[in-house]
Amino acid sequence: MPKIDINQVPERKGSGYPPPFAALAGARIKQALGDAGGLVDFGVNLTRLPPGTWSSQRHWHTEEDEFVCVLSGELVLITDDGEQPLHTGEFAAFPKNCSDGHHLVNRSAQTAVYLEIGSRHANDRCHYPDIDLHWDSAAGVYTHKDGSPYP
Amino acid sequence: MPKIDINQVPERKGSGYPPPFAALAGARIKQALGDAGGLVDFGVNLTRLPPGTWSSQRHWHTEEDEFVCVLSGELVLITDDGEQPLHTGEFAAFPKNCSDGHHLVNRSAQTAVYLEIGSRHANDRCHYPDIDLHWDSAAGVYTHKDGSPYP
């Protein structure tokens, strides 16, 4: 049956960022609902973000569209233009190749829960405007901006 | 700013099905949030389904993955295997080329609101197991199952 039993979907905690970038984004807990449901064209994660933590480092993708929907709690969305609150039942979209880095920060006292949807591309690159980090999905590695590897 | 103001997103009521298939699925009201946010890889609709109405005719896609998340209210998900309730905060996934037709029916007394995400493919076909209807996205038309046109 196509309904997803979220109790059966594994939880993945943490991030793959090299230190020290994993610290604030390492508390997120994701469940890959799209994968669990057999989808391949896009990913759907149910993500829980504890108080004081970040969804990710601020970033933008060259080849992947992203969309988020807040299911409970309150987040702050941060982009080049500043901050805006994202409450329960609100939405944001991040078109691919739009060079405006974004991330979500939980400054509230409650865990926030959101759904994140992202397309998939074999040759995506991810830019991080605030830090010396770069992601190349074809290579499958994080590097410094100059391409040199992290230890 | 990437937050979506849903009050600025046009509402689209009805369906493109030929009569009489539009009757029960014609009351749905959709807002294309993904399009409004500049996304192209997948569509995201915020859909309101009044009491007594259907999300669509029961169907499956050859080339497009689909995912739904109920934001408020209660729906009944109907597939080949029967019925299961889909409550607020529950999810379902419909992988492409899985020949198990699905649709959502609102049997409650309240309007239900859900988010639907679907990938996009230029050569999708949509099959309707219960009725004499076929969709070919390349041709952009609904036909009878034998390929003959509707009036």
Gap between the Cα atoms of A32 and A17, Å rounded: 19
Q: Provide the pairing of β-strand A82-86 with A134-136.
A: unpaired
Residues of chain B found within 8 Å of residue A2, distances taken between Cβ atoms: 77, 79, 92-94, 100, 102
What does the pLDDT read at residue B96?
A: 98
Of B139, B114, B116, B143, nearest to B127 by C-alpha is B143
Nearest one of B117, B28, B115 to B66, comparing CA atoms: B117
The band of A151, judged by pLDDT with boundaries at 50, 70 and 90, is confident
A120-150 pLDDT per residue, tens: 999 999 999 999 999 999 999 999 999 999 9
Question: Are B92 and A40 an interchain contact pair (Cβ–Cβ within 8 Å)?
Answer: no
pLDDT score, position B151: 85
Cα A77 to Cα B91: distance, rounded to the nearest angstrom? 24
Q: Is the pTM of this model over 0.90?
A: yes
pLDDT at position B26, please?
A: 87
pLDDT tens for residues B37-74?
999 999 999 999 999 999 999 999 999 999 999 999 99
Please judge whether A93 and B37 are an interchain contact, meaning their C-beta atoms are less than 8 angstroms apart.
yes
pLDDT tens-digit profile of A17-40?
A: 999 999 889 899 999 999 999 999
Q: Provide the number of CB pairs (under 8 Å) joining chain A to chain B.
A: 132
Strands (E), chain A: 12-13, 29-32, 42-49, 60-61, 66-72, 75-79, 82-86, 91-94, 103-105, 112-119, 125-127, 134-136, 141-143
**Cβ-defined contact of B3 to A71 (cutoff 8 Å):** no
Residues of A with CB below 8 A from B45's CB? Answer: none
Give tens-digit pLDDT for B4-43.
999 999 999 999 999 999 988 989 999 999 999 999 999 9
The pLDDT tens digits of the residues spanning A70-97 come to 999 999 999 999 999 999 999 999 999 9
pLDDT, residue A1, reads: 74
Using a pLDDT cut of 90, give the percent of chain B over it: 95
B/e letters for B61-93, b = 16+ CB within 10 Å, e = fewer, are bbbbbbbbbbbebbbbbbbeeeeeebeeebbbb
Residue B101: name the closest of B58, B138, B42, B151 by CA.
B58
ipTM associated with this complex = 0.95
Q: Average pLDDT in the A54-81 region?
A: 98
Q: Pick the residue of A1, A76, A104 with the most B CBs within 10 A to test the interface with B by mutation.
A: A1
Per residue in B82-128, pLDDT tens? 999 999 999 999 999 999 999 999 999 999 999 999 999 999 999 99
DSSP assignment letter at A138: T
Chain A residue at shortest CA distance from B87: A3
Q: Which domains does chain B have, with CATH numbers?
A: 12-143 (2.60.120.10)
Nearest Cβ partner for B117 among A44, A64, A90: A44
Whether B1 has a pLDDT exceeding 80, the answer reads no
Element containing residue A24 per DSSP (H, E): helix A22-25
Nearest to A90 among B3, B34, B102 (CB): B3
